[in-house]
A = this chain, B = another copy of it.
Amino acid sequence: MRVLNIETKGYLGKKIKVAGWVNSRRDHGKIVFLDLRDKSGVLQVVAHSKIAEGIKEEDVLEVEGEVKERPKEMINPKLETGNVELKAEKIKILVKSQKLPFDIKSLKLSLPKLLDFRPLTLRNEKQRAIFRVQREIIDSFRKTMKNLGFFEFEAPTIVASATEGGAEVFHVDYFDKDAYLAQSPQLYKQILVSVFERVFTVCKAFRAEPSITTRHLTEYISLDCEMGFIESWEDLMETCEIVVKNIFSDVERNCKKELEMWGAKIPEIKGKIPRLKLREAQEIILKRTGKDKRENPDLDPEDEREICNYAKEKFNCELVFITHFPTSKRPFYTFEDPENSEYTLSFDLLFRGLEIVTGGQRINDYKYLVKKMKRFKLDPKNFKYYLQAFKYGMPPEGGFAIGAERITKQILGLENIREASLFPRDLQRVDIRLKKKK
């Protein structure tokens, strides 16, 4: 039976079998050192040149031999298996690799090249680390949600109409009919509040974002939840805080090696995450930069960075909630502030200069929801299906969504969101760079 590289430490003096890819080969006369990589890490294999003949990088091997302690001067403290090595007795080449187009151990590629060669560049240790961190983020979200009594569901991808505005939606040829890709699971998670009260989903969301930015993907992973029977919209921000803090502590605990590789530090959050109303934030920005953005309906990327700088200086916190966005600029279902109906009970969470969460309370009263649709020039007839959930009793509710790639990017300090997606899709790329339609 095969032993994983990481487990070899437990087999000192024993004969075992390992398997993996040749990470590197170093020849010392009759002795050859092969670094063998498997999913668990790298192991040094020592072989006689005779049985290592012709073996090159990325060849896939099965090696049988004895696990030995390394001589003291040969111990490699950087490697988890650094105090052992495998003395090879038999090497079987499972499959040969062709010559590599570049060194995958120390990638020095532009982003387009990194993505053109994605199947290969993902073999790089630092690249894999990104997705181990992302896995931890998603798993942590799922765990917290379940602990809080949320029911998981798989949200639909194909939808019958553009839910949150028409422009940035992808059209699907659905037999002889029209359909679209879901911009969010919003309407479905709301419907399911009337069934399961608290629901969450790890799903794909799609935006036909027509510009190239470092923060947008056309297909992204949304960590979405919705909760009924809230007593106040503050319940939502509190739940969001719990989720985000757990993500940070889980990543810190379980991804030490990965964080170290990227020189990344998990933010410390002492007490509550500070909260600022949009208009307060804009006043602060005016004071700090002289730029008057007090009429804007949202923060732009520059504002997000500035207000995060402020929060860091003022509250020593790398996160800040921005609340009370204007009613006219939030989707029709957003709950209005009873104290001032020009603003909504909505929030964004910014982290190191980037919005990573958006959420808010929703309108749960059927008649008011219909009225609001009309005010937004939407035809309630087109929402008959969704409206059933409200017509027959929907409790006070709200929710939020976390962008999985965005929080990954911000934790690791990546420059571009594409680096935080295994197979990023954008205006020009779906794996390969697409050609225009003929």
Contact = CB atoms under 8 A, between A and B. Distances in A.
B94 A19 contact: no
Contact of A170 (B172, B202, B435): B172
Interface stretch (A26-34, A112-120, A310-318): A112-120
A402 to B, nearest CB: 14
A219 interface: yes
Contacts of A221: 154
A78 interface: no
A195 B123 contact: yes
Taking the full assembly, how many copies of this chain does it contain?
2
Interface in A194-213: 194-198, 202, 204, 206, 208, 210
B117 A60 contact: no
B195 A100 contact: no
Contacts of A176: 436-437
A43 to B, nearest CB: 14
A291 to B, nearest CB: 33
Interface string A210-233: 100000001101000000010000
A389 interface: yes
Most buried by B among A154, A197, A204, A364: A154
Contacts of A177: 434-437
Given A192-B122, A197-B39, A423 B392 contact: no
Most buried by B among A19, A174, A198: A174
A79 interface: no
Given A39-B151, A95-B364, A177-B435, A385 B118 contact: yes
A157 interface: yes
Interface string A250-271: 0000000000000000000000
Interface residues of A, number: 89
Interface in A233-253: none
A21 B229 CA distance: 11
A96 interface: yes
Interface of A: 2, 19, 21, 38-39, 58-60, 94-98, 100, 117-120, 122-123, 128, 131, 135, 138-139, 149, 151-154, 156-160, 170-179, 181, 188, 191-192, 194-198, 202, 204, 206, 208, 210, 218-219, 221, 229, 364-366, 384-386, 388-389, 391-396, 404, 422-423, 425, 427, 430-432, 434-437
Given A94-B395, A160-B434, 8 more contacts: A119-B388, A128-B195, A135-B151, A158-B181, A158-B206, A159-B430, A177-B436, A384-B432
16 contacts: A19-B229, A95-B364, A97-B391, A97-B392, A117-B388, A118-B191, A118-B388, A120-B389, A120-B392, A123-B194, A128-B195, A139-B152, A158-B425, A170-B174, A174-B434, A204-B204
